[in-house]
């Protein structure tokens, strides 16, 4: 076990390095670094570890599991940080999700959206969401087909307690970031093609894409939210 001081300096150093790589990538491709937000992915990490990241300056966290997030958000309620949901969301967990999360990245069905709208209404909230798109049409991956995304988003425009802010993708795993790039580009092109004619009441600004192994390519392709765990917290158990 590492002691807390060791872990603290490691997280601080890693976080700075990731922030710097994000800034350098932006400079290299002519983007304003203010347009890319870092989502520190804390699944499996303890509340104490998250606390160290908060003290090191992280303000936005991504969680994958509702129960785990409920515990951590409770423990860390005193901190003015934001929580995003990036895991697969079951419909019966929608009521917890709307209470905890500023943004839910993984909406991929009308059924889930309907439940989120209903639960958000109960607590008087407009829930911000992203639509998770299955760009590569892989079997067994969640996410809606690119062709069906427009229909879904058009239906969601009528939901008073949901606000669609953009798109999200989890590409298949490749060792080389260059092989993932087409998925990032595909997501950006889809967003742009949906924004062009426009859908009344909806403007898709966010692109949630890029993780530890490929976030630089994602930023070059237009990512506005990069979801990074390992590069900050080390390998998960
Ligand atoms: C775990 C996870 C990440 C972070 O992955 P790293 O490779 O550790 O950076 C990003 N997005 C999603 C959806 C995840 O589940």
Is residue 204 in some structural domain?
yes
Q: 61-75: string of b/e by CB count within 10 Å (b at 16+)?
A: bbbbebebbbebbee
Is residue 237 in some structural domain?
no
Q: How confident is the model at residue 58 (pLDDT cuts 50, 70, 90)?
A: very high
Q: Atom of ligand 1 at shortest distance to CA of 43?
A: 1
Is residue 218 in some structural domain?
yes
Mean pLDDT, rounded, of the chain: 95
Q: Give the C-alpha separation, 82 to 76, whole Å.
A: 11
Nearest to 204 by CA among 194, 213, 212: 194
Q: How confident is the model at residue 82 (pLDDT cuts 50, 70, 90)?
A: very high
CA of 98 to the centre of ligand 1 (A): 21
Residue 210 Cβ < 6 Å to ligand 1: no
Residue 41 Cβ < 6 Å to ligand 1: yes
Residue 64 Cβ < 6 Å to ligand 1: yes
- Asked if residue 234 has pLDDT above 60, the reply is yes
- Asked if residue 210 has pLDDT above 60, the reply is yes
pLDDT for 137 equals 72
CA of 66 to the centre of ligand 1 (A): 16
Nearest to 208 by CA among 196, 233, 191: 191
Which of 60, 62, 108, 236 best tests ligand 1's pocket when mutated (most atoms within 8 Å of CB)?
62
pLDDT for 237 equals 87
Q: Atom of ligand 1 at shortest distance to CA of 213?
A: 7
Is residue 42 in some structural domain?
yes
pLDDT for 81 equals 98
Q: 1 or 16: whose pLDDT is higher?
A: 16
Is residue 190 in some structural domain?
yes
Is residue 66 in some structural domain?
yes
Nearest to 207 by CA among 196, 221, 228, 193: 221
- The CATH number given to whatever domain includes residue 127 is 3.20.20.10
Q: Is the alpha carbon torsion for 43, 45, 46, 52 positive or negative? A: negative
Task: Tell me the residue range of the domain where 179 lies.
Answer: 4-232
Q: Give the C-alpha separation, 206 to 152, whole Å.
A: 17
CA of 230 to the centre of ligand 1 (A): 8
Q: Give the C-alpha separation, 180 to 16, whole Å.
A: 25
- Asked if residue 139 has pLDDT above 80, the reply is no
Enumerate helices (H) and strands (E) in the chain, giving the number of each.
9, 9
Specify the residue with its C-alpha closest to ligand 1, atom 7: 212
Q: Atom of ligand 1 at shortest distance to CA of 39?
A: 10
Nearest to 67 by CA among 82, 87, 81: 87
Contact by Cβ (8 Å): 87, 104: no
Residue 230 Cβ < 6 Å to ligand 1: yes
Flag the least confident range among 29-38, 76-85, 169-178.
Answer: 169-178
Report DSSP letters for 137-191, one per residue: --TT--SEEHHHHHHHHHHHTT-TTEEEEEEE--PPP-SSHHHHHHHHHHHHHHH
Is residue 223 in some structural domain?
yes
Is residue 12 in some structural domain?
yes
3-state secondary structure of 223: coil
CA of 196 to the centre of ligand 1 (A): 30
pTM for this model (two decimals): 0.96
- Asked if residue 217 has pLDDT above 90, the reply is yes
What's the structural domain count of the chain?
A: 1
Q: Give the C-alpha separation, 132 to 107, whole Å.
A: 6
- Asked if residue 141 has pLDDT above 80, the reply is no
Longest dimension (CA), the chain: 55
């Amino acid at each position: 076990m590492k002691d807390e001081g060791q872990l603290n300096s490691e997280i601080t150093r890693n976080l700075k390095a990731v922030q710097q790589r994000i800034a350098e990538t932006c400079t290299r491709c002519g983007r304003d670094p203010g347009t890319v937000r870092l989502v520190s992915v804390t699944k499996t990490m303890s509340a104490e570890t998250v606390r160290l990241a908060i003290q090191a300056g992280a303000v936005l966290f991504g969680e994958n599991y509702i129960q785990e997030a409920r515990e951590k958000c409770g423990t860390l309620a005193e901190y003015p940080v934001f929580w995003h949901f990036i895991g697969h969301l079951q419909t019966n967990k929608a009521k917890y999700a709307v209470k905890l999360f500023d943004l839910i990245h993984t909406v991929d069905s009308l059924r889930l959206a309907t439940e989120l709208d209903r639960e958000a209404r109960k607590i008087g909230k407009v829930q911000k969401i992203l639509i998770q798109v299955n760009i590569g049409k892989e079997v067994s991956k969640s996410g809606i087909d690119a062709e069906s995304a427009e229909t879904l988003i058009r239906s969601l425009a009528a939901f008073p307690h949901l606000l669609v802010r953009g798109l999200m993708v989890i590409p298949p795993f490749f060792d080389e970031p260059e092989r993932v790039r087409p998925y990032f580009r595909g997501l950006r092109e889809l967003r742009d093609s949906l924004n062009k004619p426009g859908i009344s009441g909806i403007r898709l600004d966010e692109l949630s894409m890029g993780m530890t192994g490929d976030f630089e390519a994602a930023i070059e392709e237009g990512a506005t939210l990069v979801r990074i765990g390992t590069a900050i917290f080390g390998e998960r158990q």
